[in-house]
Amino acid sequence: MPQIYSQKDVNKKALAKARIAILGYGSQGRAHALNLKDSGYDVVVGVRKSGESFAKAKKDGLEVAEPTEAVKNADLIAFLTPDLTQKDLYKDVIGNIKQGATILFAHGFNIHFKQIKPRKDLNVVLIAPKGPGGLVRRQYQQGRGVPSLLAVYQDVNKQAKAIALAYADGIGGTRGGVLTTTFAEETETDLFGEQAVLCGGATELVVKGFETLVEAGYQPEVAYYECLHELKLIVDLLHEGGLTKMHQFISETAKYGDLTRGPRVVNKSTKKEMKKILTEIQDGKFARQWIAENKGGRKKYNKMMKADFNHKIEKVGAKLRERMPWLQEEKA
């Protein structure tokens, strides 16, 4: 089993008196900035003055500056903007990043696919929390932490790993455990998980199940509850205790249906397609397609998103969720 680092493994001197610039104030950016500040670090947020995030970060009590100013004199710069904005952002700020600084990413996309070719004098590290920013913040405030992955791409001063681990500790990651990986492994597994299981796979399974029931004449509302709403129960059980806990809390009938029918839905053909998806990630095909789609104005992307939002499951779900206002409570 690979080594998993905890709070006792952190050398806090690695980031002692360091100035940390957080570029971006979205889901991860806000969580990292606030957690680091609460951990006692000197934090500045780098966002455009013209954007909404500038005022939001100031309201949260953080020092804020334009990205090119925020990186000046920073010892560590975290690039936490969306993947396809980071290449241009790096070009904008690199001239103001001091020699020997550390640049940090929460996803390896731009380094692994060579969209960013970092300056040779910089440490280049990755700290990737295995959860969305809102959860990273909430867990920290509760004295807990979201597990994180750590990778080193360039180690100029032989302190890159210690610096990254101290950063992970600052956002609460060492409370949940920090596992070492590589930029390649983090990027490829993250993309695969999103596409084949967590986002693409799970949502398509939900939608196709909903469609099957509705086309067979069942009420859309009942289909929604069975195929989407109840999914949270199963995901929570899996999250808390894996397959074992799920089987402990579902009925014997559900267990038998799981074991005998599940493999008919997700089968050898499905796994074969998963392997093709993984190959497209590994050889860079997916990255090239996504970069090209972005450069072309995201026409196909926007069309597919619109179709998703206009699906019957969304129209039915919106009405049902109105009866459960607690689902919309702010948790960030």
Could you read off the pLDDT of 274-321 as tens digits, one per residue? Answer: 999 999 999 999 999 999 999 999 999 999 999 999 999 999 999 999
Choosing from 32, 107, 112, 247, the catalytic residue is: 107
Q: Is 194 annotated as a binding residue?
A: yes
Cβ neighbours around 247 below 10 Å, total? 15
Residues of the chain with CATH 3.40.50.720: 4-181
User: Does residue 32 have an active-site annotation?
Assistant: no
For the entire predicted model, the pTM comes to 0.93
Q: Is 190 annotated as a binding residue?
A: yes
Structure tokens at 160: 């890159």
Arithmetic mean of pLDDT over the chain? 96
Q: How confident is the model at residue 329 (pLDDT cuts 50, 70, 90)?
A: low
Q: Is 119 annotated as a binding residue?
A: no
Q: Is 28 annotated as a binding residue?
A: yes
Q: What is the pLDDT of residue 332?
A: 43
Tens digits of per-residue pLDDT, 67-100?
999 999 999 999 999 999 999 999 999 999 999 9
Q: Is 251 annotated as a binding residue?
A: yes
**Has residue 30 got a pLDDT over 90?**
yes
Architecture, CATH, for domain 4-181: 3-Layer(aba) Sandwich (3.40)
Strand 19-23 with 4-5, pairing: unpaired
Q: Is 226 annotated as a binding residue?
A: yes
